Amino acid sequence: MHSFLCSHPAVSRKETLMDTSDRDDVRVAGLSLRLNYDGRGDLSGGDHHPRPSAGFKLERSSSTATSVEPYLTLGLPGDGWGSAKAQAEEDKACSASRVVGRPSSPHSMVSSFSGGHLSRIKRERDARVSDEEEDGGAARKKLRLTKEQSALLEDRFREHSSLDPKQKQALAGQLSLRPRQVEVWFQNRRARTKLKKTEVEYERLRKCCETLRDENRRLQKELQELKSFKLLRPRYMQLPATAVAGFTMCPSCSTVAAASDSDESGSLVVAPKPRLFNPFAHSASL
DNA sequence: TACGTCAACATGGAAA
DNA sequence: TTTCCATGTTGACGTA
């Protein structure tokens, strides 16, 4: 599903016009919008490569006189779709600006624009304009950092996982990169580190779980054995529990627990202390 | 060609 | 309001 936003003066406010999940025609604010959707499901790109994938044909509603141009073009192949520069000019000229939202994350479905949102978009667009100016306006190719660049970045990351603006500038100069690139690299690097950490932690917990399951099975088996033993030797079991080394009897509920043995959570442990393996207490060894 | 990696990006939230 | 960061996503590119 995609949300299309329109900021044309004819539309009283910036608003979500529609989603395209199941329709290609919509009538909004007296205007008839015909959506030419090519099925790629992508209207704007994170990267600044031309990505024309949809077009609007905005028609006058027969009953409504508006000053709207007959066509609202969201982008055509080769017209600089997604180009910040083109966007800037487009904004200047007009009018029927296209503001499209692509759901890049589950919570990012565009529904409205706050002031902060707009200023951010402007900032980012300006940043892209300056980037493209530096690149001579060429569509940006996938950058592959050299080994030397990566090594230096890694070194700096080991020292500090984040940079202050001065450090960023200096490092960017040193690497012949834009500060923005250094910033992005550090963001991605932090994300990778966190992901790795999460994976390690997941693996550790998985092993803990496995160990606990085994321990549980073993204890169940032991309990069964004790029960059958009780049936065979009832007199033995009539002894006071305190007489059994390492056990105390809870006076209120008669739960058998290890003497003064409770884990961090305060719960009772139904086994003599020396025999119970607590994987969490041994997590470092996993 | 499928798949993994990663630079670049979009977006929301927190802090100042 | 701005800045910074975390997080999720996209698409180029390398490789098996």
Sign of CA dihedral A207, A212, A217, A219: positive
A251: Cβ under 7 Å from strand C? Answer: no
Bases along strand C below 7 A from a protein CB: 1-14
The protein residue nearest nucleotide B9, judged by CA to C1', is A46
Per-residue CA distances from A78 to A36, A52, A151, A181, A242 (Å): 17, 8, 38, 27, 86
Q: How far apart are CA A125 and CA A128, in angstroms?
A: 5
Return the percent helix, strand and coil in chain A, to nearest 5.
40, 15, 45
- CA neighbor of A286 nearest in space, from A208, A187, A194, A195: A208
The protein residue nearest nucleotide C1, judged by CA to C1', is A116
A181: Cβ under 7 Å from strand B? Answer: yes
Q: How far apart are CA A271 and CA A277, in angstroms?
A: 10
- Regions of chain A with pLDDT less than 70: 1-141, 234-286
A262: Cβ under 7 Å from strand C? Answer: no
pTM beyond 0.85: the answer is no
Report DSSP state, residue A272: -
Between CA A10 and C1' B14 the distance (Å) reads: 36
Buried b (16+ CB within 10 A) or exposed e, A232-265: eeeeeeeeeeeeeeebeeeeeeeeebbeebeeee
A54-102 per-position pLDDT tens digit:
333 322 233 323 232 223 333 333 333 333 333 333 333 333 333 333 3
Looking at residue A240, what is its pLDDT? 54
A197: Cβ under 7 Å from strand C? Answer: no
A8: Cβ under 7 Å from strand C? Answer: no
Looking at residue A232, what is its pLDDT? 81
Q: Which residues contact A172 (CB under 8 A, 6 or more apart)?
A: A178, A179, A181, A182
The protein residue nearest nucleotide C3, judged by CA to C1', is A120
A104: Cβ under 7 Å from strand C? Answer: yes
Paired residues of A33 in beta bridges: A26, A58
Looking at residue A221, what is its pLDDT? 95
Q: How far apart are CA A171 and CA A81, in angstroms?
A: 33
Strands A98-101 and A31-37: unpaired
Between CA A252 and C1' B15 the distance (Å) reads: 52
Q: How far apart are CA A46 and CA A57, in angstroms?
A: 24
Q: Are the CB atoms for A179 and A169 separated by under 8 Å?
A: yes
Q: Which residues contact A71 (CB under 8 A, 6 or more apart)?
A: A56, A57, A58
Between CA A267 and C1' B13 the distance (Å) reads: 38
